[in-house]
Each structure stands twice: as structure tokens, then as C-alpha cells.
Structure 1
Amino acid sequence: MSSPVDESVSFPRLQARSLRFTLGVPRNLTVSPDGSRVFFVRTPDGSTRTGSLWAYDADSGEETCVVDASALLGAEGEQLSPEERARRERSRESAAGIVAYAMDEACEIATFALSGKVWVSRTRSAGARALPTAGSAIDPRVDPTGRRIAYATDGALRVIGVDGTLDYPIAEPDGDHVVWGLAEFVAAEEMDRHRGYWWAPDGESLLVERYDESPVATWYVADPAEPSKPPVEHRYPAAGTADALVSLWHVRLDGSRTEITWDHGRFPYLTRVSWTPHGDPLIQVMSRDQKDAAVLAVELESGETTLVRGQSDEVWVDVMQGVPAYAPGGRLVTLEDHGDTKTLFVDGEPVSPPELQIRSVVSLGAEGAIVTASEDPTQIHLHAIGYDGEDYPLSEGPGVWSGTERGGTAVRIRAGMESPFPTVTVMRGGSTVGNIASHPLHPGIHPEVRFLEAGEDAIRTAVLFPSGHEHGNAAGLPILMNPYGGPHAQRVMRSAKPYLEAQWIADQGFCVVVADGRGTPGRGRAWDRAIRDDFAGVTLDDQVVALETVADTYGADVDTSRVGIMGWSYGGYLSALAVLRRPDVFHAAVAGAPVTEWRLYDTFYTERYLGNPGEQPEVYDANSLLTAIDPDVDLPPLMIVHGMVDDNVVVAHTLRLSSALLAAGKPHTVLPLTGVTHMTPQEVVAENLAQLQVDFLRRALRA
């Protein structure tokens, strides 16, 4: 149940205070092997950022707080090391307290990090204790047997008993820029791989990543608002430059180790690691151009690898969640393109229905896999796909579904349009036990979304008018496009919460349009790859098509002579591009943290879509904002917003664009955010930033 509406607080402040209304909502769910308990993280309410570990009894429906993180932290609160801050930045984690935890196979032992300490909890009784570890700990993980905990610190990987005895290193840095047991920058930022080590099923050894950043260029991230502080050195692998050198080692508890061998020259990227009881460890490695990948089985004693599945694509190979992996019985499970459909493969054969776009593998059982999948790209459902190809839908009703299942207990999470908050239902033996409680802040508004399919490509488009809008009763509202519009992220989904901010903006006197053009996920291989070498052309064209469809559909309700666009990150790039390339269509823009020159963005992401700048510089020039400035055309009002200590899209992007605009005599506005990274979790900053952006657009568009 959400908390009552506080009408004295603005929506932007509520959104910032609640971390976009995620606080108070259960997350990170784990079902015990016997299905009796469901563990999860939840903050006590919708404005407190400190998460605690909870357990839900799947028989009685009762909740118990296993670990109260606030009690452990005391009055001082949480203190994070620079390494942990960087790790959370990569995963876009703004909450505090227990944000992640790891458990043994039986779910009897849980471990997590707080203020750099490793804590351990025996989950049958409340409470936890800190272990006497060395250094500031990152990513502690208990072994499957519940005897030992590994953790990363100061570039080393260490192991300690769950009773606090025998804390010792099993791998230590052997160079100034060598790190063991953590994911390198591009893995965490772009591959969605946030781990750097994996326990053996028997708890007697580990697979451990070693990366060496010495070949990677050093950049310096400084906060000009703090001139007494030195710049922070940051190894950043920009497109066309050297990546970190990554290797994988089988490390035994006595510290002896064997390197896992593969052709690093051909496959420099380590994208996935899986180690289940059903076969040898599996790794997926990938070529620099991402057109070839190999699934390799690891022979632990020798470190040699054997090819079990080759993967290739003339454009790029996708890195998917939950695969590759061995299922019970030793079946090899992968997700691969089959025609224009992302398909579940078992031992090299496609088994899932051709109408389902499989998005991820949730779990693998004896009879089949539980997956997330879409027929309509605006919805995600849960399916059980048998290894014989039978499809069993597990979710009913429109929305975005997720969940997990184990030991006869299923957790179903549904986000729909009727409420901004998900429903988390626990089912035991096929019968509903109850819902895990949520305690979010109430936003005070509810999105009123109209869905369209724009143009010949049926671009999924969401349209929001001011609350209570009746067609024909408002003359010519200005239109505000609000895209992300690039790879990896969808905005147009049948889930209410993502539209809360768009509804608030609409209520300020706009028709807000959100469109997912080509390149956004969930619509198959051809759709994904249409953007190869052409961010600027394809993604901008699709926003124009969506705009034209809205104008045709709503006629006099909208005014196409007053069109603005605003977005963040790729959406910021798209917003600045719109007023530079198409000032005939777009009359004002707010560009947040935009990539303005793709040579300054990282290797794995940028080269996947635009190739290597050393091999096709003309592609980078064509997609750069710096070359999109026409000195003979007036620039519509443009505000560029950037966090000064952003280490992902560095502020140099905005500074270079601003300099080029100034050199061309183009007036524009730059809003620097001191002390802010790629995220803006600070409550007052986020509130004022939202209001400043809307006020800028209202003035520019005469709203």
C-alpha cells in the first residue's frame, strides 16, 4: 500500500525523494530450494533509502525482517569507498543499505556489504554480524555450501570463513593497474556483467577474472566547484583505443591457480561465465567487432577450453541474460537469432515458438526453461518453454511481468497500467498465498496514456495530454517529444510508472510523446540492426514519423509549429541532434548528458553500432553533433545539461559541443551540475532541474 499523497511537496521532489518511486518496493527476490521462504530487499517506506533484508513465509504469508540495515549502520549511516561508489554508478544504484546480497544454495547463509564491511546472517534468526575482514570489501559472495565468503578489496580477492576465521588472499595484484575479482569497466557498463568471480558448486575453488588496465588511456575527472581537490584518474577505453586485458583463472583455496586459455587475439571480450552442477563451466567470449562469439567449456585441471557452440552475425552477436548455461541433464541452452526472432536454443536446436521474442532466461529446470518474452513489444510475459518445444504461458493480463520460481513456489511480479506500483504475488503449489507488501510514496498523479503505432514500421508511441484532457476542448497544445530512442532501453511499455514524469510534464501544458523507434529492444534482428552506422539518420527519422502520426491523429489538439524535445543520455544526444538537423520540425530542446562525439564514448557500446573509428571515420563524423552545426541556419533554443563528474558520458561532450556552437555564433544555454554524475539522485538538485527544464521549454515554445 502506498503512503498518502503529500500535496505540499512537488512531484519532482517526490520523484527524487523516492528514487523514481522505487523505494519501499520489494526487489532482488530469491526463493529457497524447498520453496518455503522468499527473500527480498525492501526499504521501510517510500522515502528512506536504506534497504533491509526480509523473508516471506510461503506457507503462512508472514513477513520477517532478517537484517535491519539501519540498526547495523547506526547514527553515522553508510560510508562508501570510491570503488564501491564506482560500482554502484555502473549498475545505476542510488539506494543505500543492503542493495544486494548473496546466499548459499540452501539459503541458510546470507552475506552483503555495508560501509565496506562484510556482514553475514544466518537467515533462520534475525540479525547479522560483521566479519573481521581486510580493507574495504566489495561484492561479498558466500560459497554454495555455506562455509566461506569471498570478497574483493584493494585489487585482491580474499576468502574468509563464515565464522570469521582464516581471512586470507587467494589472488593479489601483480601490477599497478591489475584487479582480481571485479568486472572491468565495459563489462559492468555495457555487457550487463557486474561480477568478476564465480564459486564452484562444491565451494572448493573459484573462477576469477583478472583485468589489467595499464593499456587503457587515463582520463581525469575533476569537479571545478572543488578546485582544492585533485582530479580523479579514470581509465576510460574510448572507441578505437585499447581495452583492459581480461583473463580468467581457476583459483583454488590455497591460492594455486590455472589460467583458462582461449584465443584472446580473436576473442578479447569475456561476456558471460556460468558454472552449474550440470557440466563443466561455460564461458562466452567475443571478438572486438562483436560479429563472432564462442561458447567454450572449461577443463579445470588444464585450463583448456573446448568449443561447444559458435555464434556469428554479419552485424553483431547479442549478449543475453541467463545464457549460455547447462541445464539439468547437461543440455546447452542459448538465446540466438532464428530468422528475425530471438529464440531459445537447446543443444543447438531452436525450440521456442516463432512468434515469441525471448528476452531473457530466468531459470533452467529439469523439464524446461522459464523465460521472459514478448509477442507485443510493449508487453513482457513469463513463459515456461519445455525442452521439447511446448510453450506454457505463466502470466495473464496486460503488462510487464517478471518473477522467479523454485521448490514449488512461484513469485509473479506484474507492472500494469492501472497502478504505478508492481504487484508481487507468491504462489505455493499452484495456489496464491498472498502479496509481498509494498510501501512506496504516492506520486499524486496517474498517467493517462494513449498508445499509437506510427508509420509503416508501426513505431510504438505513447501520448500523454494534461490530466482530464478532452479532445477538442484545448486548442493547439505544444508537443514535447520525450525519447530515449536508442539501443538497450524501451520507454513505451504497458506499465504506468515509467510515464509518471511524462504526465507531470503534460500537466504543465504540453502534449508529451514517447516513441520507441528502430534500434530499441524487443522487435527482432532487423529492427535492432537498422541503426548500424546510422544513429543520426534512423533514430531521428523515427521520432519525426511518430510526431507526424500524433499530429494526424489529434489534429487541432496539437500545434506542430511548437515542438520541443527533451531527453537524457542517448535521449540527450537525440534531442540536440533534432534541433541541429531538423530545426524545421523541432523548435526547442533540452539535452541532458548527451554524447556529442562518439569517439569519446566507450569501445564495447560504440563500436558495436558504429564500427571502429580508425576504420570508418566517416561514420563517426556523420553521427557526431559537432559536424551537424549548419552555420547558415538559425539554431532553435537549446539547453544542454551535464553532471560535471560524470565518468560515463564525460562533461567534455557538452563542452566541445558548446565550443563548436559558440564558434559558429549559435546562442545556447549550458547548465552545469556540480558534483553530479550520470545520475542525479540528490533530491533538491533533481527537483530544481526538472522545473528548470520545463520552464525553459515553456518559454521557448510559448506554452
Structure 2
Amino acid sequence: MTHTDPYLALSAATGRFSYGAPRAVTLASDASRALFLRSTGSTDPVERLWLYDLATGREQLVADPLVIAPERTGDASALPPLERRLRERIRLWAPGIGSFAATGDLAQAVFALDGRIFRCDTATGTSTELPVVAPAFDPRPNADGSVVAYVADGALHLTPGGRVSPEDGALWGVAEFAAQEELGRLRGHWWAPDGTALLAARVDESALPLRHFADPAHPELAPESFAYPQAGGPNADVQLWVLRPGGASTRLVWDTELFPYVMAAGWEGDGEILLTVADRLQQNVLLLTADPATGGTRELSRTEDEFWVDPLPGTPLRLADGRVLTSSDTPAARGVALDGKILTDERLQVRRVVGPWRDGRLLIEAGDGDPADQHVFLLDPNTGALEKLTEGAGVHGVAAHAEDVLLLTSASLDGIRRELRTAAGSTDFPDLAAELPYRPRPQLARVTDLGLPTAVLYPRGHRGGSKLPVLLDVYGGPGFQVIANEPRRWQLKQWWADQGFAVVTVDNRGTPFVSPDFTRAIFRRFSQVAIDDQVAALQALGAVHPDLDLERVGVRGWSYGGYFAALAVLRRPDVFHAASAGAPPTDFRLYDTAYTERYLGLPQENPEGYAADCLIDDAPALTRPLLLIHGLADDNVHPSHTLLLSEALTRAGRAHSVLPLPGTSHMLPDGGLERVAEQELEFLRRELGATPSL
């Protein structure tokens, strides 16, 4: 489909301004070189492997999929199902090399292309195809690159060497759905440093119900099925084994009944493995040390919380001297503690522990006042002293680090910079992404006695004095913050404003980075806090923004935001006059275990909370226009969520609209977001009476 709107056409052509941006930057052990993935320009979607010399600033293309395997690059159907699902989990739709793994010196890198495995000699830029037994996924080299482990047909293999996992009907070497989507663990096998053994996940999904997907636009195609861990039901049985090619295998032993989730794992030397496990409700997280010879484990630290242990990436972390860094939350602040002693004060909201860097100090990413900003700090674990490494409003983060080298990404409302800091000074890291078409200036404010973060965007050129229909562009769910001084998230919102709306965004309680108390307000029930906060924020903003026409309020959102949009018109039609709800999880009893139970508990133990958050029974109350949108290939929020609500609305005699998207997943790839936006615009203009300003 050709977009007639210039912004939507540009957004689609540039992959939402992501094509040409470097990612997956990996530094050599001596910090002399970096490998990274990037396309050749802002309208080229195909990701290639590049080598960058830090001393000279010279970059070299070392692996081009259009040269290596031109016949199928870009054909998603050519990907093994396991790789296709992992790309969905990490929201990656660009074709080409999706990931790579390299030896420590970056002399060799391995990657998969459409089920084939290649080894790249980065010095010469020569890629050699390796023999594999079936469409392959997730290749990883041993320390010297002589042997590569990979997954094929759910089994773990070596090339050279053959199958290394048992033939027992389980999946080997992969991360299960819950780990990939909700727990932050994307891999399922790890080489020992000496290359003589592999730590591997064994995943048994036989107890899980199946989800089925059929493409109504192609009835000649067989439906696809996969195992899905539904709230209140069984989880995958996940074990960790040490596999020794040609030798005995050892299972790591811990209480998997009480602690079923493997959050992280890896080798700490040839004689030790560290793993992080959690109980089902994620109120207890353990760091365990394991002996790979015997499989015995011992607890090193325990993090407990009466609500849930909010994941803090990078923790728990054992330091070189044996002390353990863990998250440590107070009602007001997300902090870290060393062997139980809190290191950070309440002015910080720690968001990620990057790891050790200079002089044993720790790189951390944290907010230090305004939740719209994030900065990079060095934290001394002995004294708690902080050194701030970034300045100015924006979202600053660490993309890579080694020895005296630091790659920073700094995104502010003025633009995005990737800065490479070395002992020789500072330089820009190569970035070919398109320039953002405009610099939106959202008016940020904290409102109500809760200090809710909010933003208002007016059409460019709006002078004031005339009422505008309000579009509440919302997410509102746990785990994702919208209000931030980061330019990309405001581009589409500004486009909506330019169509004749005053665009309002609110981070209600339950969203992250304000404080633990702010986040935990949704404990055991999502809907009431979200609707109360969004309504209160709208009223507060209306009192200071006279151009907001609160008699014409529309709401749009996707995923949890789609859930909120439908919730808004069903339960508060006095405030919300039309809604566009994309991919809404309308009944959390049908959503996944790890996410849903973290906040709502088990359905068997909190039936009232699940019932209160379900939208199906609200169908007879609909009196406002509602557009439901759903991708029919969505394996995250299954399309049944929308269809069940639509069925209930139809039975209740309530008119509504449904836009099905055949073959489309949860992340709306390949211009899907822009096509949907055009449909939403037509609906919302009609219902709210907006007229474009430009």
C-alpha cells in the first residue's frame, strides 16, 4: 500500500526511523574493535555485519546477506519457526542478519540466515557456510571458534560433532515463551570457557495448551500451533543440564517446583555456573551457584518482596570479591544493595546495572529527579559515591563497554547521538538512520496530588484560543514508560496532533520509573487505578489548557493501551467519546503466566481481580463508537481476545467496528503501523470532528 501522507510514507520507508541505526554492538576483549549490525542506509531494511576499528574510525562490511544468500533474504517464511518467534519476542522485523555471536577477539563471528549457518572471518570479510542437519537457529561458537553449537528441530547440535542433546521429546537449547517475552532471557545454551561442555536449557512444553493460528486470507495453508502458558495453568518445565560431548551429562538441581522460572544463567569459569531463579509469583528471586561436575547448587542471595520483585536488569550480580549486588526497593526509590546494605539514596531510581567498568566501579542507568530523564553513572560499591557521566535532559544509556571504552546513546528532544568515548577522546559512532522529520515539543507536567507524568502536544502552528478535540494516546501498563525526553516516541504523536487533535499522554500508576509505590498501586487489579488516574489527569490538564475540548475526547492504544482504550469507553462513556483499541488483552485469564500472575496473582486465588479486569461482561454497556483492531497472526495477544469481545458486543446488540489484519503479528511490521494509523484517523476524525492543521 502506498501512503499518501508524507510522514506516514517516510515512517514506513525508514522502518520508523530505525533503518541504518547500529545495534547489537559488541566490543573485542581488548576494546580495539567492534562488531555491529546495521543496514546500508535509512531506507534499506536488510541488516548486515560490520567491523569498526576504534583507533582509525574505519568501518568495514564483513558479511552481506544479499551476497551470501540473496535468494531468500527478506522472506520471513524462510525462517525456522523458533527464530521467527524469537524475532517477534524482541520486536525485530528487519530482514537480514538478526543476531550474531563472536569469539572474544572478534576474529570470528557466526550467524544464521534463513536456517543456514555461516562463519565469518572478520579480517578478510569471508563467510563460509557450515554443515547443519536441518534449518538451524541461534549458532554460538566456542572460545576459539573451532566448534559451533546451534539448535535444529528443537535439539542442540555441534558443527562439527553432531547432536549433543538427548532424544527425549523435549526442546533443548532454547528459551521458552515466558523467558523470552516476560523474563528477559533470550537464549538457552552457553559454552563453558574451555569449550569442553555446554550449559543447556531443557524445555518440556507437553503440559501446556496449544494456541492455533490460521490465515483466513489463505485457506489453503495449514494452521500453525504453539504451546502457550496461560494464566493459572501449567508452565513449561525448565531444567538446566551440563552436556559434555562424548561424556556424561549432569542436571543442575534446585527446587524447580518452588522456583520454576530461570531468569538468567551462565558460566563463571570452567568450574562454576551462576543462575537466577524465581518463584511463580516472582516474590522471591534467588542467585544460585552451581557445581557443573555434580549439579549441586547453593544459594548466594535472596531478594524478597511482598508485592513482586520488579526485574532490575543486571541484578543479582556477584562482584569479583564475592559480594552480591541486588535490587533493593523502598516505597520511594528503586535502589541497589550490596550484601543487603543499601548503596543508593532516594534521589535515584535505578533502571539497569550495566556492570563493572573503571576501578571496580559499576556502570548504572538511573533517573535522578525527573522520571522523563535517564542518566549514566559510575557507582563505587565500597562507598556508594556516584560520578555522573551524562548531562542534559534526555534518555542516556550504555550500548557497549569494555576496558576504557564506553559507547553511549543519548536521545533528547533535540535528536539522537551515539558517542564513543575512549582514552583518546570522544567521537560519533557511525549511524545512517534518517533524520527525524521534526522536533516535537511536548508540554510535560506532573499533575494531581499523585504527581502523574503527563504530556500535551498541539498541532504545529497552533496559536491558542480555539478548542481542539482531545486524543488520549495511551499505554498505561506495567513495564513501559511513555513520558520521556526521547524524540522517537513523540514523532507519531505529533503527526496525530497535526491531524487536528490535542494529543494527551499520561503515565498512570502502575507504569515504571516514578517510584516503587507508584508502580505497585496496581497490585492484584489493573483496571480501576488506570481509569481513575487517566480521568483525573485529563481533568487536571483541562483546567490549565483551555483549548482542550473535554466534550470530545477520543482514546487510542495498542496492546495494554488497546485494553485501556476499550476499557475507557465501556466504563467511562461520560469522559471518553470514541476509542480505537488495537490488540487488546480483553480477558487476562487468557494471557500468559509470567506477566499476568506477577501483578494479578493466580486466577484461582484472585478470581475477583481477574473478573474486575475482564472486559467481556462489559459489552452490554457500550454506548460510544469503538474500533477493534487485531493482527490475526498475533502470538502474544491472541486474536481471540478481540473476537470474544466482538462476539459479546454483537450478542448484546451493540454496534462496533472490527479491523482484522490477516498475516499480521503483534508488532505491526513492514508499514503495518502506518496503514493502521490511516484507518484509525478516518474513524476518529469522523467521531470527534477533527480537522487537519497543516
Q: TM-score, normalised by structure 1?
A: 0.94
Aligned with 2:537 (options 546, 554, 564): 546
Match of 1:616 in 2: 606
Q: Does structure 1 retain, via aligned residues, the 8 Å contact 2:194–2:270?
A: no
Q: Residues of 2 paired with 1:394 and 1:31: CA distance? A: 20
Match of 1:390 in 2: 385
Q: How does 1:6-405 map to 2 (within 5 A)?
A: 10-78=6-74, 79-160=78-159, 166-175=160-169, 178-254=170-246, 256-277=248-269, 280-365=272-357, 367-375=360-368, 376-388=370-382, 389-403=384-398, 404-405=400-401
Q: Which has the higher contact order (CA 8 A, sep 6+)?
A: 1
Q: Residues of 1 paired with 2:235 and 2:207: CA distance? A: 7
Displacement after TM superposition at 1:209 (Å): 0.4
Q: Does structure 1 retain, via aligned residues, the 8 Å contact 2:373–2:393?
A: yes
Q: Residues of 1 paired with 2:109 and 2:472: CA distance? A: 45
Q: Secondary structure at the match of 1:219?
A: strand
Match of 2:449 in 1: 456
Q: Residues of 2 paired with 1:210 and 1:317: CA distance? A: 25
Q: Does structure 2 retain, via aligned residues, the 8 Å contact 1:370–1:383?
A: yes
Say if 2:685 is the partner of 1:698.
yes
Say if 2:458 is the partner of 1:465.
yes
Q: Residues of 1 paired with 2:198 and 2:423: CA distance? A: 35
Q: Residues of 1 paired with 2:257 and 2:85: CA distance? A: 29
Displacement after TM superposition at 1:293 (Å): 2.1
Q: Does structure 1 retain, via aligned residues, the 8 Å contact 2:552–2:688?
A: yes
1:152-175 Cα distance to aligned partner (Å, 9 max, x none): 111111122xxxxx2311114402
Q: Residues of 1 paired with 2:71 and 2:580: CA distance? A: 40
1:218-238 Cα distance to aligned partner (Å, 9 max, x none): 222212222222221221111
Match of 2:518 in 1: 527
Match of 1:163 in 2: none
Return the letter of the residue paired with 2:165.
A
Q: Residues of 1 paired with 2:480 and 2:504: CA distance? A: 16
Aligned with 1:646 (options 634, 641, 645): 634
Pair 173,578 (structure 1): closer, same or farther in 2 beyond 3 Å: farther
Q: Does structure 2 retain, via aligned residues, the 8 Å contact 1:272–1:324?
A: no
Q: Residues of 1 paired with 2:657 and 2:663: CA distance? A: 19
* Matched positions, count: 682
Q: Residues of 1 paired with 2:428 and 2:270: CA distance? A: 33
Q: Does structure 1 retain, via aligned residues, the 8 Å contact 2:89–2:181?
A: yes
Displacement after TM superposition at 1:523 (Å): 2.1
Displacement after TM superposition at 1:68 (Å): 2.1
1:32-69 Cα distance to aligned partner (Å, 9 max, x none): 22221122211111222111111222222222222223
Q: Residues of 1 paired with 2:563 and 2:622: CA distance? A: 19
Displacement after TM superposition at 1:76 (Å): 3.6
Q: Residues of 1 paired with 2:132 and 2:270: CA distance? A: 33
Q: Secondary structure at the match of 2:431?
A: coil
Q: Residues of 2 paired with 1:650 and 1:687: CA distance? A: 21
Q: Does structure 2 retain, via aligned residues, the 8 Å contact 1:534–1:610?
A: yes
Q: Residues of 2 paired with 1:8 and 1:614: CA distance? A: 51
Q: Residues of 2 paired with 1:428 and 1:409: CA distance? A: 5
Displacement after TM superposition at 1:628 (Å): 2.6
Residue segments in structure 1 that go unaligned for 5+ positions in a row: 1-5, 161-165
Return the letter of the residue paired with 1:676.
T
Q: Does structure 2 retain, via aligned residues, the 8 Å contact 1:32–1:407?
A: no
Q: Residues of 2 paired with 1:382 and 1:279: CA distance? A: 34
The more displaced of 647-656 and 581-590 is: 647-656
Displacement after TM superposition at 1:7 (Å): 11
Displacement after TM superposition at 1:692 (Å): 0.9
Pair 634,75 (structure 1): closer, same or farther in 2 beyond 3 Å: closer
Displacement after TM superposition at 1:275 (Å): 2.5
Q: Secondary structure at the match of 1:128?
A: strand
Pair 656,49 (structure 1): closer, same or farther in 2 beyond 3 Å: same
Residue segments in structure 2 that go unaligned for 5+ positions in a row: none
The more displaced of 329-338 and 198-207 is: 329-338
Return the letter of the residue paired with 1:409.
V
Q: Residues of 1 paired with 2:424 and 2:353: CA distance? A: 21
Match of 2:662 in 1: 674
Pair 18,277 (structure 1): closer, same or farther in 2 beyond 3 Å: same
1:542-592 Cα distance to aligned partner (Å, 9 max, x none): 21122112211211x121100000000000000000000100000000000
Aligned with 1:592 (options 568, 582, 598): 582
Q: Residues of 2 paired with 1:114 and 1:452: CA distance? A: 47
Q: Secondary structure at the match of 1:488?
A: coil
Q: Residues of 1 paired with 2:278 and 2:682: CA distance? A: 46
Q: Residues of 2 paired with 1:573 and 1:239: CA distance? A: 17
Aligned with 1:517 (options 497, 508, 512): 508
The more displaced of 62-71 and 634-643 is: 62-71
Q: Does structure 2 retain, via aligned residues, the 8 Å contact 1:271–1:319?
A: no
Say if 2:411 is the partner of 1:415.
yes
Q: Does structure 2 retain, via aligned residues, the 8 Å contact 1:448–1:467?
A: no
Q: Residues of 2 paired with 1:496 and 1:231: CA distance? A: 40
Displacement after TM superposition at 1:201 (Å): 2.4
Q: TM-score, normalised by structure 2?
A: 0.95
Q: Does structure 2 retain, via aligned residues, the 8 Å contact 1:173–1:180?
A: no
Displacement after TM superposition at 1:443 (Å): 4.8
Pair 334,252 (structure 1): closer, same or farther in 2 beyond 3 Å: farther
Return the letter of the residue paired with 2:628.
I
Displacement after TM superposition at 1:245 (Å): 0.7
Pair 571,12 (structure 1): closer, same or farther in 2 beyond 3 Å: same
Q: Residues of 1 paired with 2:346 and 2:548: CA distance? A: 40
Pair 615,634 (structure 1): closer, same or farther in 2 beyond 3 Å: closer
Identity of matched residues, %: 39
Return the letter of the residue paired with 2:380.
G
Pair 263,65 (structure 1): closer, same or farther in 2 beyond 3 Å: same
